[in-house]
Amino acid sequence: MLEYSVGQVVQGFKNHAECTQFDILDSGAVMLVFFKNPKKREIEQFGSGKMFEIRFIELGGIIMITAKIGSLHWMEAPYSIHLSRNLTNLPRPDAGQGLGLTVHLVDATTGEIKCMRLIGLSETFTKALSDAAERQLARPFSLSEHNRSVRQIWDTYVTSQIANMSKNCFRINH
């Protein structure tokens, strides 16, 4: 289990590339958003009470997660269950429940966790994501093929196109 707190400096996050990463753990899902020297306005967008939307689509065997946080632009993160090191059993929440998603904003320069937000995803979204992950598990995996597929997706689509193609969506309006 990964445990972080606001203000914590994570050595492995220092001088990190700006990107978004998504993973599923035994305890839920995590999204790490790396911004270099995030501005106050950007940090505020990650707080509770701000709009949050997450979508996904399967492209070329890759689950492409897209997220819109507050008034920021769409962000994307490729996901493969084969790369989930801290997942031993795909979470299947009970009826009426969904996966917990912890969103972290990280200063990619200093490695400091600037903001964290816990979001309860819907049962429908969680089931669709779990089903997509199970389909990935049923296919053989090659890291080089995975990386080639991700590069091809990035060469073909911009993030907003991926978000617009996604049929699986969960949104919080406040």
- Give the tens place of pLDDT for each residue, 15-49: 999 999 999 998 889 999 999 999 999 999 998 88
CA distance 131 to 119: 20
The structure's pTM equals 0.90
- Over residues 79-105, the mean pLDDT reads 87
Find, among 135, 102, 128, 147, the residue nearest to 3 by Cα: 102
- Give the tens place of pLDDT for each residue, 106-118: 999 999 999 999 9
Task: State the chain's mean pLDDT as an integer.
Answer: 91
- Give the tens place of pLDDT for each residue, 44-72: 999 888 899 999 999 989 999 999 999 99
| Residues in Cβ contact with 81 at an 8 Å cutoff, skipping those fewer than 6 apart | 24, 87, 90, 133, 134, 136, 137
